[in-house]
């Protein structure tokens, strides 16, 4: 009997349960697009490990929020814990490491290891919410709530609005700091806006989707776009689309093939890099003079 790639009954179940799948898909789309846009800064400014440390910090913030409520009787919204720790890590990583007699790589490595290890230790003490900690560490977009979707949508909209509004200044200060300073631009202020916006977006997205796909959206999306060798504005657009496609495509791939969502979104992000490489090879072969 002929087999199809997708079981028709799965499509029927998906259509019938659209209201159940709508929020996680929309959340993945919004987070993927906004983080994809920001990923261009992350990759071109060589801040990939900054993104890794910040996503780990957001996971620790969620773990601490659960710990506070279970063991200390203090109610802290997990998304608030994720955002506060992510922003704190972002601001800490802006400190000039030479003042601490450390290299930037060593500071990043310490932050990544400390926050990741601490999240695991704290998670071990909150057995009542162990499934949530697993979700934060490895991704669980299936558990997105309407409140989480609203938070990601509002924060994502504000971040994207600010970045489009200040696009010229942010790109100038990011990729030509000396020229921006000569032109009188407030480079440090623009740097702070960029880093805080990354921290806040990573924080709210990590709480909703998990640290693994958030790290992929905020790094691999730009790699796929940069492989195409486009002009900078088109690179931002391509990275934004890559993030959105990875978010939605990864969710659908996971659903129809019974795979974990976070891992599927991460793998789809990497597959897009491969497709971008193939497109570039074809384009170079076509444009190459005979």
Confidence of residue 1 (pLDDT cuts 50, 70, 90): very low
Residue 99 has pLDDT above 70, yes or no: no
Confidence of residue 56 (pLDDT cuts 50, 70, 90): confident
Looking from the CA of 209 toward its CB, the CA atoms found within 13 Å total: 40
d(CA 119, CA 112): 11
Class of domain 19-280: mainly alpha
Looking from the CA of 280 toward its CB, the CA atoms found within 13 Å total: 14
d(CA 63, CA 9): 38
d(CA 106, CA 11): 49
Q: Which two tokens stand for residue 69?
A: 């409520």
What's this model's pTM, rounded to 2 decimal places?
0.86
d(CA 245, CA 78): 27
Domain ranges of the chain: 19-280
Task: From 68, 112, 72, select the one nearest 89 (Cα to Cα).
Answer: 112
Residue 14 has pLDDT above 50, yes or no: yes
d(CA 243, CA 273): 11
Q: Do the beta carbons of residue 169 and residue 190 sit within 8 Å?
A: yes
Residue 132 has pLDDT above 70, yes or no: no
d(CA 76, CA 276): 42
d(CA 34, CA 5): 31
DSSP string, 132-149: HHHHHHH--GGG--HHHH
Task: From 135, 142, 26, select the one nearest 82 (Cα to Cα).
Answer: 135
What average pLDDT score do residues 12-22 get?
Answer: 84
Residue 3 has pLDDT above 50, yes or no: no
What average pLDDT score do residues 71-85 get?
Answer: 84
Q: How far is CA 172 from CA 94, 151, 231, 243, in A?
A: 18, 30, 14, 23
Task: From 283, 286, 281, 261, select the one nearest 25 (Cα to Cα).
Answer: 261
Q: Which residue do the tokens 């805080």 mark?
A: 196
pLDDT in tens, 179-224: 888 888 898 899 889 988 998 998 889 888 888 899 999 999 999 9
- 18: enclosing H helix or E strand: helix 18-44
């Amino acid at each position: 009997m002929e087999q199809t790639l997708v079981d028709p009954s799965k499509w029927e179940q998906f259509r019938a349960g659209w209201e159940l799948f709508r929020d996680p898909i929309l959340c993945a789309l919004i987070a993927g697009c906004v983080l994809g846009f920001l990923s261009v800064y992350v990759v071109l400014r060589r801040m990939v490990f900054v993104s890794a440390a910040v996503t780990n910090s957001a996971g620790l913030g969620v773990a601490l929020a659960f710990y506070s409520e279970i063991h200390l009787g203090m109610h802290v919204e997990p998304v608030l814990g994720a955002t506060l720790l992510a922003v704190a890590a972002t601001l800490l990583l802006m400190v000039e490491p030479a003042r601490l007699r450390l290299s930037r790589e060593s500071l990043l490595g310490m932050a990544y290891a400390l926050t990741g290890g601490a999240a695991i230790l704290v998670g071990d003490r909150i057995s009542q919410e162990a499934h949530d900690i697993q979700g934060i560490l490895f991704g669980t977009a299936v558990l997105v709530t309407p409140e989480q979707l609203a938070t990601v949508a509002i924060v994502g909209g504000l971040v994207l609005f600010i970045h489009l509004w200040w696009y010229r200044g942010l790109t100038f200060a990011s990729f030509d700091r000396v020229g921006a300073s000569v032109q009188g631009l407030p480079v440090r202020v623009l740097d702070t806006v960029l880093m805080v916006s990354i921290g806040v977006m990573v924080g709210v997205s990590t709480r909703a989707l998990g640290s693994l796909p958030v790290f992929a959206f905020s790094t691999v999306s730009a790699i796929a776009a940069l492989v195409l060798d486009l002009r900078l504005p088109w690179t931002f657009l391509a990275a934004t689309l890559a993030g959105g496609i990875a978010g939605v495509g990864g969710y659908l791939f996971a659903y129809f093939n019974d795979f974990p969502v976070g891992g599927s979104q991460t793998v789809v992000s990497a597959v897009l890099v491969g497709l971008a490489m193939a497109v570039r090879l074809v384009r170079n072969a076509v444009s190459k003079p005979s």
